[in-house]
């Protein structure tokens, strides 16, 4: 996928690009309003990550410009502004998603995948990974063409892992993904363990290879290596 | 007490007291003066009696005196000098009892001592006094009444701009774009007041704008570095040669960053509620939101063997969805976090309010400080902002909240009824 990262904070931008490049994406960047505006006009991207507060302009104006030029790039707003008004304004101007800083790179990756999928596969939204087939629309999972029953949270987890294949995902990223921003229950990390244990068991019982690898209690990795 | 009432009360009390005092003094002086007149008349009559007795060696007949009653008593010795006084006597002519003025004096006649008492009726004089009194007091009373009416009317008229100022102040809303509506008046004091209010409202508005700006900037300035830390941690996690030692450090760093994020979010949330920046009110069915929440918290309750009892009635209210979420998250989250293994949570909802009770520590919270920022019970792992946020949300929506404790059960009750109907925030 071709992704444009519009972000003026250099370290954050480099990190995002490194993470996304490691997944095989092509990344371009803009750290100012005018360069972003130029690149958005010249090229087509699968997804644009847009910071709203740029040193020389309001990111929302870039959204308007994109709309005016009738472009179909997916846009995810990444911002520290968390007011609902702005969120609504951003989404009504044609952004596909809205991610509030700070966020986990794994979360960003999952959102990008969702946006790109939603834009490119209309209706027929299948993710295939070896013997696993996932229908995002119908929220069904098949192992070797055999349906298995997953709870909503287990389904979300599996999708999240698939969006971050071969990456180590921090437990705190999983917790935030499943329970949202307000989850700060001291033992929520244990629940992630329980959920993954259950998900793993259901997949393995259905004849799926065990792709889950625990990394010293800090996170998990989903890989077929 | 209204200004008019206070003013009129003082005016009425002083005028009534003054009127009574003046009336009393006036009446007293008048009757004293009339008594003196009567006394002189009585003395003259007595002199006539004396003349008569020295000439004729006997007392004049009773009938010789018009309008007067005269009595003679023989007594042993002289004891009384001339003496005036008030009395009630029987007027034989009119055949009624009347008030009168009398004069007593002892007289010698033919070696005998007599006491002579002459009584004159006071009726005519009293009538005279009464009419003089009324002629003077009644117009004064009328004048006073007129003054009261005029002052009442003037007060209403003069204070009209003040009332309008108050009205405009009450309808002034910091969140709306329009400025304070000015009141034009010719009275200097009210003009000054109007100018002062206009001045203050403009300053408040600009301060308010700055706070909004500060909130946004603080959010951005703090969130971005935290975002960098988070991203760096996520990258470090990907390195192939991660040792167990490093992983443990990463876990602690993740936790600390999460806590920092949460702290920053909570503080910004408090600032936003304080400044009423969250105004996405909608009609919420609290019951369905609660059911959703309980599903969300399912794992947490099941894990600790906590039994959740619910008694929910349908109740809709106008509330920010975002804040309702946070309110319930905090209340239910607390009830789980501060519960004990195999404990209970009772949730009751009706049109009156919402009650969340949980079993927990055998010590009540200090309800004076429980809702204050950064207060936390010794066992709490949180930051002490949860209940402060709850209180702020409750106050924003003009609900009420109470905490109570009874034998190991802690209850937080949110009451939906307005505390004070006349202080609209929105």
Looking at the fold, whether B267 and B311 belong to one and the same domain comes out as no
Q: How many Å lie between the alpha carbon of B374 and the closest alpha carbon of chain A?
A: 16
Q: What is the ipTM of this complex?
A: 0.82
Tell whether B159 is covered by a domain.
no
Q: Clarify whether residues B125 and B246 are in a common domain.
A: no
Give the residue on A whose Cα is nearest the Cα of B251: A218
Instruction: Kindly state whether residues B131 and B182 are assigned to the same domain.
Output: no
Question: Which of B277, B304, B339 delimits the end of a domain?
Answer: B277
* H or E segment to which residue A6 belongs: strand A2-6
Rounded to whole angstroms, what are the CA distances from B352 to B120, B320, B414, B421? 82, 19, 9, 16
Q: Which of B93, B124, B154 is the last residue of a domain?
A: B154
For B90-116, letters b (16+ CB in 10 Å) and e give eeeeeeeebebbbbbbbbebeeeebbb
Q: State the pLDDT at residue B422.
A: 40
Domain presence at residue B72: yes
Give the model confidence (pLDDT) of A156-192 as tens digits.
899 999 988 888 998 888 888 887 765 665 566 777 8
pLDDT at A183: 61
pLDDT surpasses 60 at A123: no
Whether residue B27 is found in the same domain as residue B68 = yes
> Per CATH, which fold does A2-120 belong to?
Rossmann fold (3.40.50)
Band of pLDDT at residue B421, cut at 50, 70 and 90:
very low
Q: Do B247 and A173 touch (CB under 8 A)?
A: no
CB-CB contact of A90 with A112 (8 Å): no
Answer left, alpha or beta for residue A139, where phi above 0 means left and psi between -120 and 50 means alpha.
left
Question: Do A203 and A143 touch, CB atoms closer than 8 A?
Answer: yes
For the cut 70, the answer to whether the pLDDT of residue B419 exceeds it is: no
Q: Measuring CA to CA, which residue among A134, A219, A132, A118 is closest to residue A177?
A: A219
Whether A217 sits inside 8 A of B251 (CB atoms) is yes
The architecture CATH gives domain A126-222: Orthogonal Bundle (1.10)
Q: How near does any CA of chain B get to the CA of A70, in Å?
A: 30
Query: Smallest CA–CA separation between A212 and chain B, in Å?
Result: 15
- Considering only the beta carbons, identify the residue of A11, A22, A184 that sits closest to B262: A184
A49: left (phi over 0), alpha (psi -120 to 50) or beta: beta
Task: Give pLDDT tens digits for B246-261.
Answer: 888 998 898 888 888 8
Is B305 found in the same domain as B270? no
Is B349 a residue whose pLDDT tops 90?
Answer: yes
Own/partner pairs, B203-210, CB within 8 angstroms, 24+ separation? B204/B174, B205/B174, B205/B179, B208/B174, B208/B275
Considering only the beta carbons, identify the residue of A19, A85, A101 that sits closest to B235. Answer: A19
Candidates A80, A168, A185; nearest CB to B237 = A168
**Mean pLDDT, rounded, of chain B:** 84
Decide if B165 is inside a domain. no
CATH 1.10.10.10 residue window(s) in chain A? 126-222
Same domain, B114 and B88: yes
Q: What is the mean pLDDT of residues A196-215?
A: 92
- Burial degree of B409 (CB within 10 A; 0-12, 13-18, 19+): middle
Residue of B226, B235, B322 lying closest to A15 (CB–CB): B235
Return residue ranges of chain A for CATH 3.40.50.2300.
2-120
Backbone angles phi, psi at B315, to 5 degrees: -150, 125
Distance (Å) from the alpha carbon of B226 to chain A's nearest alpha carbon: 6
Question: What is the percentage of chain B residues whose pLDDT exceeds 70?
Answer: 94
- Condensed to tens digits (0 to 9), the pLDDT of residues B170-219 reads 888 776 667 788 888 888 988 999 999 999 989 998 888 787 777 667 76
The pLDDT tens digits for B352-406 are 999 999 998 888 888 788 888 888 777 676 778 888 899 989 988 889 999 999 9
Last residue of some domain: B254, B277, B300? B277
Q: Same domain, yes or no, for B371 and B267?
A: no
Position B422 in a domain: no
Segment B335-352 shows an average pLDDT of: 91
Regarding whether B212 and B265 lie in a shared domain, the answer is yes
Please indicate, yes or no, whether residues B198 and B132 belong to a single structural domain of this protein. no
Structure tokens at B100: 């009168």
Residue A105 to residue B255, Cβ atoms within 8 A:
no
Q: What is the pLDDT of residue B216?
A: 65
Chain B residue with Cα closest to A172: B254
- CATH of residue B309's domain is 3.30.565.10
Residues of A in contact with B258 (CB under 8 A): 172, 176, 184
Q: Are residues B398 and B356 in the same domain?
A: yes
Cβ contact (<8 Å) for B300 and A187?
yes
Cβ neighbours, 10 Å, residue A8:
18
Please tell me the total count of domains within chain B.
3
Query: Quick one: pLDDT at residue A5?
Result: 95
Any domain includes B54: yes
pLDDT tens for each residue of A68-112: 888 888 999 998 776 666 777 888 888 899 988 889 999 999 999
Q: What is the pLDDT of residue A82?
A: 67
SS3 label, residue B345: strand
Binned at pLDDT 50, 70 and 90, residue B287 comes out as very high
What is the rounded distance in angstroms from the CA atom of residue A106 to the CA atom of residue A195?
18
Q: Are residues B180 and B273 in the same domain?
A: yes
Our CA-based measurement puts residue A18 at a distance from the nearest CA of chain B, in whole angstroms, of 8
Identify each DSSP E strand in A36-94 by its residue range: 47-51, 53-54, 57-58, 74-79
* Inter-chain touch A181–B265, beta carbons under 8 Å: yes
Q: Are residues B23 and B146 in the same domain?
A: yes
**Mutating which of B234, B238, B376 best tests the A interface, going by the most A Cβ atoms within 10 A?**
B234
| Domain limits for position B371 | 281-415
In degrees and rounded to multiples of 5, residue B310 shows phi and psi of -120, 145
Q: What is the average per-residue pLDDT within A212-224?
A: 89
Residues of A in contact with B254 (CB under 8 A): 170-172, 218
């Amino acid at each position: 996928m071709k992704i444009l990262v519009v972000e003026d904070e250099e370290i954050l931008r480099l990190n995002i690009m490194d993470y996304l490049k490691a997944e095989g994406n092509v990344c371009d960047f803009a750290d100012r309003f005018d360069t972003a505006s130029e690149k958005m006009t010249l090229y087509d991207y699968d997804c644009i990550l847009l910071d709203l507060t740029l040193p020389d302009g309001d990111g929302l104006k870039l959204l308007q410009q994109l709309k005016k030029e009738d472009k179909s790039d997916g846009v995810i707003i990444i911002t520290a502004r968390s007011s609902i008004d702005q969120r609504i304004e951003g989404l009504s101007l044609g952004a596909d998603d809205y991610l509030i800083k700070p966020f986990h790179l794994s979360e960003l990756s999952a959102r990008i995948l969702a946006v790109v999928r939603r834009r490119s596969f209309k209706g027929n939204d299948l993710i295939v990974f070896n013997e696993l087939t996932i229908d995002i629309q119908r929220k069904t999972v098949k192992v070797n063409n055999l349906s298995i029953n997953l709870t909503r949270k287990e389904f979300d987890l599996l999708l999240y892992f698939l969006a971050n294949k071969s990456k180590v995902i921090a437990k705190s990223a999983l917790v935030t993904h499943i329970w949202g921003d307000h989850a700060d229950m001291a033992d929520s990390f244990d629940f992630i363990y329980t959920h993954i244990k259950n998900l793993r068991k259901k997949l393995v019982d259905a004849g799926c290879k065990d792709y889950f690898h625990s990394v010293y209690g800090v996170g998990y990795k989903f890989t077929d290596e | 007490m209204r200004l008019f009432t206070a003013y009129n009360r003082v005016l009425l009390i002083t005028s009534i007291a003054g009127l009574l005092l003046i009336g009393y003094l006036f009446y007293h002086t008048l009757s004293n003066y009339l008594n003196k007149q009567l006394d002189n008349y009585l003395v003259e009559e007595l002199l006539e009696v004396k003349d008569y007795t020295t000439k004729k060696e006997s007392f004049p007949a009773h009938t010789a005196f018009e309008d007067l009653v005269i009595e003679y008593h023989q007594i042993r010795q002289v004891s009384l000098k001339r003496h005036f006084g008030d009395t009630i006597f029987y007027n034989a002519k009119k055949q009624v009892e009347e008030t009168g003025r009398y004069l007593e004096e002892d007289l010698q006649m033919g070696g005998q001592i007599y006491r002579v008492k002459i009584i004159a009726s006071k009726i005519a004089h009293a009538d005279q006094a009464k009419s003089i009194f009324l002629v003077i007091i009644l117009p004064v009373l009328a004048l006073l009444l007129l003054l009261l009416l005029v002052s009442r009317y003037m007060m209403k008229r003069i204070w009209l701009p003040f009332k309008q100022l108050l009205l405009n102040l009450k309808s002034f809303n910091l969140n709306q774009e329009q400025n304070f509506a000015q009141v034009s008046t010719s009275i200097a004091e009210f003009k000054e007041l109007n100018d002062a209010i206009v001045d203050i409202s403009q300053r408040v508005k600009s301060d308010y704008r700055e706070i909004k700006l500060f909130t946004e900037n603080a959010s951005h300035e703090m969130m971005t570095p935290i975002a960098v830390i988070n991203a760096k941690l996520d990258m470090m996690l990907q390195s192939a040669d991660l040792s167990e030692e490093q992983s443990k450090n990463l876990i602690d760093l993740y936790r600390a960053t999460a806590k920092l994020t949460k702290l920053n979010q909570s503080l910004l949330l408090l600032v936003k509620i304080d400044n009423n920046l969250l105004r996405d009110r909608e009609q919420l069915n609290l019951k369905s939101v609660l059911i959703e929440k309980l599903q969300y918290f399912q794992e947490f309750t099941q894990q600790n063997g906590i039994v959740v009892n619910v008694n929910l009635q349908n109740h809709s209210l106008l509330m920010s969805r975002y804040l309702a979420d946070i309110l319930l998250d905090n209340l239910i989250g607390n009830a789980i976090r501060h519960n004990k293994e195999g404990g209970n949570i009772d949730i009751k909802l009706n049109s009156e309010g919402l009650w969340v009770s949980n079993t927990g520590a055998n010590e009540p919270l200090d309800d004076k400080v429980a809702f204050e920022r950064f207060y936390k019970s010794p066992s709490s792992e949180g930051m002490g902002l949860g209940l402060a946020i709850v209180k702020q949300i409750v106050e924003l929506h003009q609900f009420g909240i109470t905490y109570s404790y009874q034998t190991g059960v802690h209850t937080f009750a949110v009451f939906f009824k307005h505390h004070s109907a006349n202080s609209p925030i929105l």
